[in-house]
Structure 1
């Protein structure tokens, strides 16, 4: 049987690009399809039709509100998945992901705090509370002295400086200056830009990625006014379409992975 790969989570244009360059049968979904794991075989709903199809390799590149169980299913399958499914499962919940990442990072300071829902957190200075499991800049609030946390939250000191993202895809890396109109910075801002690599940040991002077992990852840092980096967040599904350079690097890496050892 000819191997049948599946890609989930990219937009239609990106899926069409990879499918055309791949040149063979492929199951593609922008959203989460129906999936089953049985007798160590992965089956996925096709784009049309009801019969589940056996899948040889899975590329997962999306974040959905209800995808943790789906990723867990891929980890149960334990087949060829990019990124590694067990690593994605460990990263998908944002607060546990950060707690794990701090064990691998060289730039883990400053120390974080935690607050249960309904408690007043009294800070020693400007701080940021983070909660929830959405990895797209949501569920963060800055406060100065104290805050009643409505949700279980990690709390960290607010650090002024330059917001940086380092993306690693296989052996390649890119560094991005994140921008914004207030204290929240984003890769999606019009003035976000690729900048020269900082080898220490690249090494740290690779160390965190290795710690999780991720082939693809992006770390967000704030580099303070003294030039000291501080890890803020790990992205197991980083944006790869904002810049042509990262899309070319990602799509080539995916295609090389899909065709490896396929004759």
Structure 2
């Protein structure tokens, strides 16, 4: 039988959030701001110490962040099957952006057909088109084109939709709709003029269905609302930004603290 230890691990949590969590938890904490080494043995998760040599068993893991090398780490958490926030198996299913999008499009009411292009292949398209590749968000790894284009990366391609870019963000049962902004066609949560807006009930219902079906604890779904009222799911953020807005950060911290305790 697995022995329980009064020890949690915080991985990827920044200093400011760590301080809040630490002040609300009386047990032992292992804190790593980068991906630590782990071992899963006899249903126990062992994690390298934050300081010093060796590993210690942990009871619960809170993971926040996106790293180049985090897929194997999340895989280990999923194999462990212990208590992890967010759900490790769901993070594993959603870590890679294109496969996650495929799953989400099969569930969304606002799905639209996508194209696909292998690295090194060329495609010619008469209409305004957007290619997306890689596993990063925030407007990175995207290219807008018309005509012939050769991709250096494996990518999805989709029509460029004119309209308002929004995000439905959920932490547990708490939700917001955020208007994404930017100086050009690339929109994200980071510009100073991005902010909260009234929630579209159809987009919220769509996000809830995707979140619950994929068993995600938190989610950020990006949509375009066209000038004609049409709506399109653009992408799914499995680890949405929680530090951009104080209200979101406070909801995240209260959720994590309640979960830990």
User: In structure 2, what is the equivalent of residue 173 of structure 1?
Assistant: 175
Task: Give the Cα–Cα distance (whole angstroms) in 2 for the partners of residues 3 and 122 of structure 1.
Answer: 58
Counterpart among 40, 44, 59 of residue 41 in structure 1: 44
TM-score (norm 2): 0.95
Summarize the alignment of residues 1-263 of structure 1 with structure 2, pairs less than 5 Å apart.
2-109=5-112, 111-259=113-261
146-155 vs 177-186, which moves further: 146-155
- Deviations along 1:32-89, one digit per CA (max 9) or x if unpaired, are 1111111111011122121211110111111001111111111111111111111111
What SS does structure 1 have at the residue aligned with 2:7? Answer: coil
Task: Give the Cα–Cα distance (whole angstroms) in 1 for the partners of residues 24 and 242 of structure 2.
Answer: 17
Task: Give the Cα–Cα distance (whole angstroms) in 2 for the partners of residues 233 and 126 of structure 1.
Answer: 18
8 A contact 2:95–2:238 mirrored in 1:
yes
8 A contact 2:242–2:248 mirrored in 1:
yes
Task: Give the Cα–Cα distance (whole angstroms) in 2 for the partners of residues 232 and 23 of structure 1.
Answer: 42
8 A contact 1:65–1:134 mirrored in 2:
no
What SS does structure 1 have at the residue aligned with 2:99? Answer: helix
Report deviation, 1:139.
0.8
Task: Give the Cα–Cα distance (whole angstroms) in 2 for the partners of residues 221 and 48 of structure 1.
Answer: 43
Report deviation, 1:146.
2.5
Task: Give the Cα–Cα distance (whole angstroms) in 2 for the partners of residues 164 and 21 of structure 1.
Answer: 34
8 A contact 2:6–2:27 mirrored in 1:
no
- Deviations along 1:100-125, one digit per CA (max 9) or x if unpaired, are 1111111112x100011222212241
- After superposition, the CA RMSD in angstroms is 1.2
Stretches of 4+ aligned residues off by more than 6 angstroms: none
Report deviation, 1:148.
0.9
Q: Do the aligned partners of residues 2 and 116 (structure 1) sit closer, same or farther apart at CA in structure 2, a change above 3 Å counting?
A: closer
Task: Give the Cα–Cα distance (whole angstroms) in 2 for the partners of residues 253 and 227 of structure 1.
Answer: 34
Q: Structure 2: give runs of 5+ residues left out of the alignment.
A: none
What SS does structure 2 have at the residue aligned with 1:130? Answer: strand
Task: Give the Cα–Cα distance (whole angstroms) in 2 for the partners of residues 208 and 69 of structure 1.
Answer: 24
What SS does structure 2 have at the residue aligned with 1:237? Answer: coil
Task: Give the Cα–Cα distance (whole angstroms) in 2 for the partners of residues 195 and 29 of structure 1.
Answer: 35
8 A contact 2:166–2:224 mirrored in 1:
yes
What SS does structure 1 have at the residue aligned with 2:24? Answer: helix
